[in-house]
């Protein structure tokens, strides 16, 4: 009986019986529901408030309408006795202080009666209230305006005065200023955090409460609130402000008419409005928490002896492991109950986690190093150092298979002299076993294992060794040794699996290094040939710059060329082939050499040359490959330049320091379309003029203000005080690099050619 009560299931049952989770869940659901009902009621109260405020403003407008009906129906207004009408207007203004002004306008819009003195002739036919009253022949409300007589912000209401035959005789109007409008708004009845807006149909703010400088006359046009007021007339809209807070707006129409109208909105913070409900919810939950604490105290006392003490030890150990102290163990007292068994299982699990986490972290670091941009020899040194630390090895070495022998390439904790040492298969039979099997070979006792050369092992003091084959494309290209000197080691499955994964990463790094070095050497050689120019050409001064986006990607598709044809004619080329690496370098060479070869055939225009290059590129490249090319033929004797710009950036021509002419693209891309048509254009260079050519890596340099752009290139050229091609090209590149924060997102090439007398 007593043993049953020491069981884990019995203890958990006692805790569950004392738990208050069901009651807590019911209370939270009930309280949350009541809170939602209270919030909905609060929103409805705000909606009723805005509707009541709208009715109050409607009363103000209706009162003004009644005044206008009486005023317009008077004998003086009907008969056009404006002097008498003026006295009537003055009397009404004195009796109705809410009115900013009251008056009469002729059908032409000229004011003939005004309670406020007018500065000469005033015409209001462009005002919205006047136009609507005249157009619709009925009472109308205008938009927000600053009065031409009062000089104050206001809205005007108007009533057309018609004779018995329906002919318009005049328009009577009343001006309602902001004070009169505010007096009808229930601002004092709402919290100070509320925002009241009265806007016209154009979204212009007529009154804002609380009043802030510049609010009147501001615009809500294009906002979600304005769209909602026009589309749905009344309701509540939630809006997220630019500062991240959420506001809600209750809105309703005040007055509607064709082409116009007035709308009212009250904005409020849900957090402020619902604060009382939130406090009630907090108090309810707090009261329940006190009751729950009392019940939990009883559960605590009952569970301390049965569950708490062993659980506390397990929890503390788990926390230590969670904080990174993976060597922590629970070490519960031995016994036959569930907690004793749980403690043993927990410690076993913690030990396994410690080993696996250590191996996982080490393998992550190995993979990071294998794909890093560090120098390859440094990568190998760091990888074997990390691997040794993870498996507890004291030394390590990587040997590559060369001419049937094992040559030592990298080592850890061995004397430097071991690099270059060569072992035969007889001296390292464990390496040969790994080569033949393609799997790791674990030797626990190297001195006494008959499979090994004991003399060699003793000469290096190696008592245990783990050998991993390095496999590249199903071929063992080398092995990696993990050695133990001070003790023997009984290798675990986890150690073997880990080192096998490391060997895979090392082999991949070796393969990538070989492929990269071979391809990069070829591509760099091609790139160098694409960027070489003659040392001098008669009557020309020139300079060129090639800048790679990154040091690790020196090979791109940008190129330039400058070559003599005959009779003082010089070919000028700048281009950009899509793509990077060896493929781009090969296609770049094809385009450049095709242009040069075809241009040497005297009499061919640049458009003809690029048409031939287009056919060659279509035949020799993939469909997605293309090039932008500027090719021109310059007559150095006359300065005449015939060029074809096939989708390339606009060249700049002229004298630096003055306005530069843009030679824009006049043809399509090279290699994009089989039936593409290429066109020639002609420009003339004067002596000391410069032709400045560049690729899009310059204009697409990115900074905080966007792209560098051709406009900046031309602005820099036009602001220089030198015509030296080298200084000009260097200055432009410096400006682009500064704009991009020192990081260019693409390769760029620049060719600057100046025409001289020499």
Task: Please give the DSSP secondary-structure letter assigned to residue 120.
Answer: S
Asked whether the predicted pLDDT for residue 551 surpasses 50, the reply is no
232: exposed, middle or buried (C-beta count within 10 Å: 0-12, 13-18, 19+)? Answer: exposed
Cis peptide before 29 (omega within 30 of 0): no
Amino acid 340: pLDDT:
62
Look up the CATH superfamily of 362-519. Answer: GAF domain (3.30.450.40)
SS3 244: coil
Give the C-alpha separation, 589 to 546, whole Å. 16
Measured over the CA atoms of residue 545, residue 547, residue 551 and residue 557, the dihedral's sign is: negative
- 8 versus 488: the higher-pLDDT residue is 488
- State the residue for tokens 């015939």: 642
DSSP-derived secondary structure for 620-678: HS-TT--EEEEEEEEETTT-EEEEEEESPPPEEEE-TTS--EEE---B--BTS-TT---
Q: Alpha carbon of 47 to those of 237, 366, 568, 620, 705: distances in Å?
A: 11, 64, 86, 73, 45
Q: Mean pLDDT check: name the lowest of 1-15, 225-239, 334-348.
A: 1-15
- Average predicted confidence (pLDDT) for the chain: 83
- DSSP H or E stretch at residue 503: helix 493-530
Give the C-alpha separation, 656 to 712, whole Å. 14
- State the residue for tokens 């000197």: 485
Q: Alpha carbon of 370 to those of 112, 367, 495, 507: distances in Å?
A: 91, 5, 20, 9
Task: Please give the DSSP secondary-structure letter assigned to residue 552.
Answer: G
Angle at 502 between CA 501 and CA 506, to 5 degrees: 120
Amino acid 11: pLDDT:
57
The domains spanning 41-272 and 531-755 adopt the same CATH topology: no
Spatial neighbors of 752 by CB under 8 A, at least 6 apart, are 542, 543, 544, 690, 691, 692, 693, 725, 726, 728, 729
Q: Alpha carbon of 48 to those of 44, 45, 55, 205: distances in Å?
A: 6, 5, 10, 22
Tokens of 271: 């957090």
Amino acid 316: pLDDT:
66
Amino acid 1: pLDDT:
45
Please name which of 553, 678, 576 lies closest in space to residue 625, comparing C-alpha atoms. 576
Fold of the 531-755 domain: Phosphatase 2c; domain 1 (3.60.40)
DSSP-derived secondary structure for 686-721: PTT-EEEEE-HHHHT-EETTEE-HHHHHHHHHHT-S
- What confidence tier does 411 reach under pLDDT thresholds 50, 70, 90? confident
φ/ψ (deg, to 5) at 726: -65, -45
Give the C-alpha separation, 397 to 381, whole Å. 9
Amino acid 343: pLDDT:
59
Please name which of 433, 460, 434, 464 lies closest in space to residue 448, comparing C-alpha atoms. 464
| pLDDT tens-digit series, residues 101-133 | 999 999 999 999 999 999 889 999 999 999 999
Question: Roughly what angle, to the nearest 10 degrees, separates helices 275-303 and 21-73?
Answer: 180
191: exposed, middle or buried (C-beta count within 10 Å: 0-12, 13-18, 19+)? Answer: exposed
| pLDDT tens-digit series, residues 686-730 | 999 999 999 999 999 999 889 999 999 999 999 999 999 999 999
Beta-bridge mates of residue 465? 443, 483
| pLDDT tens-digit series, residues 631-688 | 999 999 999 999 999 999 999 999 999 999 999 999 999 999 999 999 999 999 999 9
Amino acid 624: pLDDT:
82
% of the chain at pLDDT higher than 70? 78
Q: Looking at residues 334-362, what average pLDDT do you find?
A: 63
CATH code matching the domain that covers 41-272, chosen among 3.40.50.300, 3.60.20.10, 3.30.450.20, 2.30.110.10 = 3.30.450.20
Amino acid 4: pLDDT:
45
- DSSP H or E stretch at residue 554: none
All structural domains of the chain with their residue ranges: 2-39+286-308, 41-272, 362-519, 531-755
Q: Do residues 433 and 468 make contact, with C-beta atoms less than 8 angstroms apart?
A: no
- State the residue for tokens 């035969």: 424
- 257 versus 22: the higher-pLDDT residue is 257
SS3 363: helix
- 74 versus 601: the higher-pLDDT residue is 74
DSSP-derived secondary structure for 281-309: HHHHHHHHHHHHHHHHHHHHHHHIIIIIH
Q: How many Cβ atoms are within 10 Å of 142's Cβ, its own excluded?
A: 24
353 dihedral zone (left: phi>0; alpha: psi -120 to 50; beta) = alpha
527: exposed, middle or buried (C-beta count within 10 Å: 0-12, 13-18, 19+)? Answer: buried
Which long-range contacts (C-beta less than 8 Å, at least 24 apart) are formed by 12-21? 12/307, 14/302, 14/303, 14/306, 15/299, 15/303, 15/307, 18/295, 18/296, 18/298, 18/299, 18/302, 18/303, 19/299, 20/292, 20/295, 20/296
Q: Looking at residues 298-305, what average pLDDT do you find?
A: 57
- DSSP H or E stretch at residue 422: strand 422-423
- What confidence tier does 209 reach under pLDDT thresholds 50, 70, 90? confident
- Tell how strand 640-646 and strand 681-684 pair up: antiparallel
């Amino acid at each position: 009986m007593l043993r049953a009560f020491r069981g884990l299931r019995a203890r958990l049952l006692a805790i569950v019986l004392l738990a208050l989770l069901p009651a807590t869940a019911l209370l939270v659901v009930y309280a949350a529901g009541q809170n939602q009902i209270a919030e909905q009621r609060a929103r409805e109260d705000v909606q009723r408030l805005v509707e009541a405020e709208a009715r109050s403003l409607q009363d103000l407008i209706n009162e003004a309408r009644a005044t206008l009906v009486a005023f317009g129906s008077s004998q003086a207004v009907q008969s056009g006795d404006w002097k008498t009408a003026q006295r009537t207007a003055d009397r009404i203004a004195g009796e109705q202080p809410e009115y900013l002004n009251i008056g009469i306008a002729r059908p032409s819009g000229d004011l003939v009666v005004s309670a406020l003195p007018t500065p000469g002739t005033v015409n209001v036919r462009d005002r919205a209230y006047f136009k609507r009253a005249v157009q619709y022949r009925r009472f109308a409300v205008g938009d927000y305006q600053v009065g031409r007589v009062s000089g104050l912000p206001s809205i005007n209401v108007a009533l057309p005065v018609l004779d018995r035959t329906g002919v318009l005789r005049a328009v009577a109007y009343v001006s309602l200023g902001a004070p009169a409008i505010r007096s009808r708004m229930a601002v004092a009845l709402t919290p100070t955090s509320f925002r009241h807006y009265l806007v016209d149909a154009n979204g212009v703010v007529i009154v804002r409460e609380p009043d802030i400088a510049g609010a009147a006359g501001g615009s809500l046009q294009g906002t979600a609130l304005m769209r909602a007021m026009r589309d749905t007339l009344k309701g509540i809209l939630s809006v997220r402000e630019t500062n991240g807070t959420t506001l809600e707006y209750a809105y309703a129409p005040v007055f509607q008419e064709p082409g116009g109208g007035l709308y009212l909105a009250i904005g409020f913070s849900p957090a402020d409005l619902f604060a009382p409900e939130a406090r009630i919810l907090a108090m309810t939950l707090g009261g329940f928490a006190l009751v729950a604490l009392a019940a939990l105290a009883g559960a605590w006392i009952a569970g301390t002896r049965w569950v708490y003490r062993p659980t506390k030890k397990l929890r503390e150990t788990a926390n230590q492991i969670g904080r990174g102290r993976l060597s922590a163990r629970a070490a519960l007292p031995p016994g036959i109950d569930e907690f004793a068994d749980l403690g043993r299982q927990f410690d076993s699990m913690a030990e396994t986690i410690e080993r696996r986490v250590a191996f996982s972290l080490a393998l992550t670091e190995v993979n990071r190093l294998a794909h890093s941009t560090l120098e390859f020899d440094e990568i190998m040194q760091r990888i074997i150092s990390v691997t040794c630390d993870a498996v507890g090895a004291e030394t390590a070495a990587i040997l590559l298979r060369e001419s049937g022998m094992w040559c030592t390439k990298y080592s850890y904790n061995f004397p430097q002299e071991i690099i270059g040492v060569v072992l035969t298969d007889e001296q390292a039979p464990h390496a040969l076993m790994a080569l033949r099997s393609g799997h790791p070979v674990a030797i626990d006792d190297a001195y006494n294992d008959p499979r090994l050369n004991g003399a060699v092992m003793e000469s290096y003091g190696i008592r245990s060794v783990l050998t991993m084959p390095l496999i590249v494309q199903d071929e063992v290209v080398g092995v990696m040794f993990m050695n133990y000197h001070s003790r023997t080691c009984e290798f675990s499955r986890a150690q073997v699996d880990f080192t096998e994964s490391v060997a895979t990463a090392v082999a991949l790094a070796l393969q990538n290094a070989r492929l990269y070095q071979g391809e990069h050497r070829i591509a760099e050689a091609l790139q160098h040939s694409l960027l070489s120019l003659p040392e001098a050409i008669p009557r020309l001064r020139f300079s060129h710059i090639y800048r790679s986006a990154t040091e690790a990607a020196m090979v791109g598709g940008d190129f330039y060329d400058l070559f003599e044809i005959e009779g003082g004619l010089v070919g000028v080329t700048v281009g950009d082939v899509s793509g990077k690496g060896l493929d781009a370098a090969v296609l770049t060479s094809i385009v450049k050499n095709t242009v040069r070869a075809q241009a040497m055939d005297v009499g061919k225009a640049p458009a003809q040359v690029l048409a031939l290059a287009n056919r060659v590129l279509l035949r020799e490249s993939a469909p997605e490959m293309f090039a932008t090319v500027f090719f021109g033929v310059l007559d150095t004797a006359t300065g005449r330049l015939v060029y074809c710009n096939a989708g390339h950036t606009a060249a700049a021509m002229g004298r630096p320091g003055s306005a530069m002419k843009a030679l824009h693209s006049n043809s399509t891309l090279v290699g994009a379309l089989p039936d593409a048509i290429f066109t020639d254009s002609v420009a003339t260079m004067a002596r000391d003029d410069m032709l400045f050519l560049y690729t899009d890596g310059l204009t697409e340099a990115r900074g905080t203000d966007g792209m560098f752009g051709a406009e900046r290139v031309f602005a820099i050229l036009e602001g220089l005080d030198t015509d030296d091609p080298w200084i000009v090209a260097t200055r432009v590149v410096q400006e682009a690099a500064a704009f991009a924060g020192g990081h260019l997102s693409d390769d760029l090439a620049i060719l600057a050619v100046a025409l001289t007398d020499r």
